[in-house]
Amino acid sequence: MCVFCKIVNKEIPAKVVYEDDLIMAFHDINPQRKVHVLVIPKKHIPSVNDITPEDKELMGHLWVKIPEIAKKLGIAEEGYRVIVNTGKNGGQEIYHIHFHILGGEPVGPMTCRNK
Ligand code: 5GP
Ligand code: ZN
């Protein structure tokens, strides 16, 4: 079972900020900005490449919840960035789809060429 499925199953702890039947949001273990939260579907979808038409409602729900979670975190008004790394070139490390919410301070240039 993948690490995020273990978080969903409460087999490993996480600082959960939102949870419902379909999704979960929790603080990243290695925050890259003042606020760094990961939003995941409870369903194990490995990456963006694995989204199928049957996930339409789930993905719509997840996007509806992202601004609500940002408001709850107190970062919505000043803004934030949502990032979904995909595959090797996208820098994905955990193959359970997740949406990074980064904010609480200016996030910086959209991409960088640092290796
Ligand atoms: P990726 O590079 O796949 O887009 O991002 C994976 C993210 O998951 C990283 O930001 C990493 O810090 C975070 N992460 C990895 N393992 C854990 C964990 O066990 N708990 C939490 N809360 N975050 C994790
Ligand atoms: Zn998983």
DSSP for 65-86 reads HHHHHHHHHT-TTT-EEEE---
Of 4 and 112, which is predicted with more confidence? 4
In the chain, domain spans = 3-103
Q: What average pLDDT does the segment 48-52 reach?
A: 98
Q: What CA dihedral angle connects 77, 35, 13 and 99, to 10 degrees? A: 70
Q: Work out the number of other CB atoms within 10 angstroms of the CB of residue 107.
A: 16
The ligand 1 atom nearest the CA atom of 27: 22
Domain 3-103, second-level architecture? 2-Layer Sandwich (3.30)
The reply to whether ligand 1 has any atom less than 6 angstroms from the CB of 94 is yes
Asked whether the beta carbons of 101 and 80 are under 8 A apart, the reply is yes
Q: Calculate the average pLDDT of the chain.
A: 97
Q: What average pLDDT does the segment 84-88 reach?
A: 98
Residue 62: per-residue pLDDT: 98
Separation between Cα atoms, residue 95 and residue 88, nearest integer Å:
10
For a mutational test of ligand 1's pocket, the pick from 1, 10, 29, i.e. the residue with the most ligand atoms closer than 8 A to its C-beta, is 29
Q: Given a cut of 70, is residue 69 above it in pLDDT?
A: yes
Local confidence band at 114 (pLDDT 50, 70, 90 cut-offs): low
Residue 111: per-residue pLDDT: 85
pTM: 0.97
